[in-house]
Structures are given as C-alpha cells and as structure tokens.
Chains A and B, each alone.
Chain A
Amino acid sequence: MAQGEAQQHPIGIYLWVWFLLFVLSVFSYMVDYLGFEGYLKWFLITLFMLMKAGFIIAVFMHMVWERLAIICAILVPPGVLVVLMLLMAIEGNYTLLIRLEYFFQ
C-alpha cells in the first residue's frame, strides 16, 4: 500500500521548524525572565504559543500536506472549545464577584 509515501519531505524543513521551535521557546521564556506584565505579557505568551502549536501541527504532524477533508474534520471541532473558554471565563468572574460580595471579609 503506497498511500503514506506521499508524506516524504526534505529534511531541511524539519530542521528549520525544529530550530524555529527552539527560538520561539526562548522568546516565551524571555517574556517571563524579563518580567513583562499585563496585556503585553499575555499577548506575547499567546502569540508564541499559537505559533509553536501551528508549526508542530502543520509540519511535524504533516497537516499542511493533507487534504482539506481531514484538516477540517480535525481542526474545526476544537473551535467550540473557544466558546467553552469564553463562557467559563464569564462564569468565573461571576463566581468571584459573588464570593467577594458574600464571603470575603
């Protein structure tokens, strides 16, 4: 069965992504080391995290070379988790306000 043989790619692209992941990890570590605060910190952490995740999924997991059918079947459903995250963030803030109102001296 010759199906999987489509996934053969030059070694250079793996080494490049490997190197980029190292650089991005150093960047995200530096965010903590240099002591950035607030929105800048959260923005940078999220940015580097999403870039690392993107590189791993696209190249190491070969997603960029797959057909759209499996890409959508795997990558679209986790989108609902963003909704869960937003709902629970609202709920968490609500719980905090109630606790501060009634239980916090």
Chain B
Amino acid sequence: MVNSTPRGPTQKSGWQGLVSDLASDQRAFKNVPWGKAMMWIFLLSDIFIFACFLVGYMTVRISTTEPWPDASEVFALHIGSRNVPLLLIAIMTFILISSSGTMALAVKFGYEKNRRATATLLILTALLGASFVGMQAFEWTKLIGEGVRPWGNPWGAAQFGASFFLITGFHGTHVSIGVIFLIIMSIKVLRGSLETGRPGFLTGRKGRYEMVETLGLYWHFVDLVWVFIFAFFYLW
C-alpha cells in the first residue's frame, strides 16, 4: 500500500501546519493511521459521556439538602484495629497506573517488533486490569452489604448511591472490555499476526503493530477517566 501523504520536510509545522493540514485535499490528520484517528474520535465521544456523568454527579451533590456521605470514611478499610481511609481506592489507583505503564511499554516494544516482550506486557496489563475489576467487585459487594442502594444509603444524601454505581459501573465496564481486547491482542501478537499481516477474524483487517498503539490509546483513556473519578468522587 503506497502512502501518498507527503512526509518529512515537505510538511509545515506549527500553526501554519495546522492550516495547511486542514485545508489539504486527502486527509487532515497527517502521520496518523486512520484506525488511530478513529479511536481518538471515539475517545472524544467517550470524554463527553463521562463528563456528563461527572457533571450530573456534581449537580445532584450541590443541590441536595442532605449531607453528602464522607467518601474518606465510606471507603475506609479495617487494617488491624484502625481504619485506613480510601486504602482500597489508593491500591486500585496504583494498579491502574501500573497497567498504563506496562501498556505504554508494550506499544514501544511492539514498534520494535519484539514479539515476546510485547505479548508479555500485554498479558501483564490484562492481569492488572482484571485485578482492578476484581477489587471494584469487592468494593461494590462491601457497599451493597452496608446498605448502599441507588435510591438511598445509611449515611446521607440518597443520590450518593446512584452516582457511585453509575460512574464506577460505567468505568468498570470500560476496563472489562479493555481486558478482553488486551487478551485478543496478546494472542494476535503471540501467533505473529501483526508481523505477517494476517487478516483479523471479524474485521478482515490486516494485522499491524499500530493496532497495539490504538488499543493502548483506549487503555490509557480508561486510566485517564479514573484520574478524574478518583479526584472528583473519592477525594472531593
């Protein structure tokens, strides 16, 4: 496949580059494979979904006359004889950041065509993601056991449960889907599909190592959303 996009010194840089890229005939996003551009546009739409959830949470939290439950106490864990605030959430945060780090390295080794390292890092990322979902399931079970429901809870504003289950549930779904795709991608890497350009089972697209980067964008986005949830829901 011949790439007709002008590359290298023929491309202008900076704001002039922006204008000439957007005004050019064929494709506006130079040096970006279309799969990656589409992933970015999908993530843009996902940003709006999560932002609407978080803004909705903000609105109900501002407008309720009941006191909002103190997340620091609600999500505390008993260790020995004392309560450590937000411990599980902190561990989940570190696990998700670590999985983002292994994913970034997987993308790097993918472009170096290092099959074994890429697959190992992808599987490691999937394991970290799965353990994150496991801890979230534990957290949900604990809270449901303590009587948190979407319509009420023992500590205060009824909207707490609805916001919590909606936001963390949607995020957990994203993580779970990401884990499934990580497993699929690691199988593709292991059997060499990305080197030989073997067509995919469902889409028929030829395997390329850019796919690892595109999947990486999704995974980093999941981490990115957690950064905002951690700040706004758990710490605020």
Contact = CB atoms under 8 A, between A and B. Distances in A.
B111 to A, nearest CB: 5
Chain A interface main SS type: helix
A92 B58 contact: yes
Interface size class of B (residues with CB under 8 A): 35 or more
Contacts of A91: 59, 63
Interface in A18-71: 18, 21-22, 25, 28-29, 31-33, 41-42, 45-46, 48-49, 52-53, 56-57, 59-62, 66-70
What 4 pairs between A and B have smallest CB-CB spacing? A92-B62, A18-B101, A95-B63, A69-B21
Contact of B236 (A45, A72, A73): A45
Given A21-B100, A56-B227, A4 B235 contact: no
A93 B62 contact: yes
Given A78-B51, A93-B62, A96-B65, A66 B31 contact: yes
Nearest to A96: B63
Interface of A: 1-9, 11, 14-15, 17-18, 21-22, 25, 28-29, 31-33, 41-42, 45-46, 48-49, 52-53, 56-57, 59-62, 66-70, 72-74, 77-78, 81, 84-85, 88-89, 91-93, 95-96, 99-100, 103-104
B30 interface: yes
Interface in B186-236: 208-210, 213, 216-217, 220-221, 223-224, 227-228, 230-232, 234-236
